[in-house]
Amino acid sequence: MLHRWKNPLKAMYSIRTKFTPDYSKVPVLVETELKEQFVRGSGPGGQSVNKTANCVILKHLESGIVVKCHETRSLEENRKKAREILVSKLDNLINETNSIEAQRKRYDDKKIKDKKRKQDKLSKLKTEWKKRENLI
């Protein structure tokens, strides 16, 4: 059974912001290029972790990237999250500076830089005002 998964990165960055990344270069997962395994998870959880095989190990055969996901108790949710992580890693590997994460980082850095510039300008105006009013 072949599934064509929707672009999971769109869901990750669909929060209402002015940031709109370019999804045109995001790789699409092809199920024939994936090897999927279900194993028992590890960590806290006791019997629910020890008896059920709901940890997903996903390997992209062409690039060799391996992703392990055991965030929830649901196998289907772990499968979806593993694919999201794999698409993100592939995007970072293939597109590097044009990946969604790199675009997000550039946007965040620009916002921080603009905020700092506004704060500096305001403090400069404030000190000039204090000098002018002889408050210093």
Helix (H), strand (E) at residue 63: none
- At 79, is the secondary structure helix, strand, or coil? helix
Higher pLDDT, 8 or 78: 78
Whole-model pTM? 0.73
Residue 37 CB: number of other CB atoms within 10 A? Answer: 12
Alpha-carbon span 99 to 122, nearest angstrom: 35
User: Using an 8 Å Cβ cutoff, are 37 and 28 in contact?
Assistant: no
Q: 20 vs 36, 59, 114, 119, CA distance in Å?
A: 32, 29, 18, 26
User: What confidence tier does 44 reach under pLDDT thresholds 50, 70, 90?
Assistant: confident
Q: What is the mean pLDDT of the chain?
A: 87
29: nearest Cα among 78, 89, 77 = 89
Alpha-carbon span 106 to 103, nearest angstrom: 5
- CA 62 to chain CA centroid, Å, is 22
pLDDT value, residue 1 = 45
What are the sequence ranges of the domains in the chain? 8-96
pLDDT value, residue 52 = 87
Segment 115-121 mean pLDDT: 97
Share of the chain above pLDDT 70, in %: 88
Which fold does the domain 8-96 belong to in CATH?
Answer: Double Stranded RNA Binding Domain (3.30.160)
Q: Give me the residue label for tokens 């209402």.
A: 16
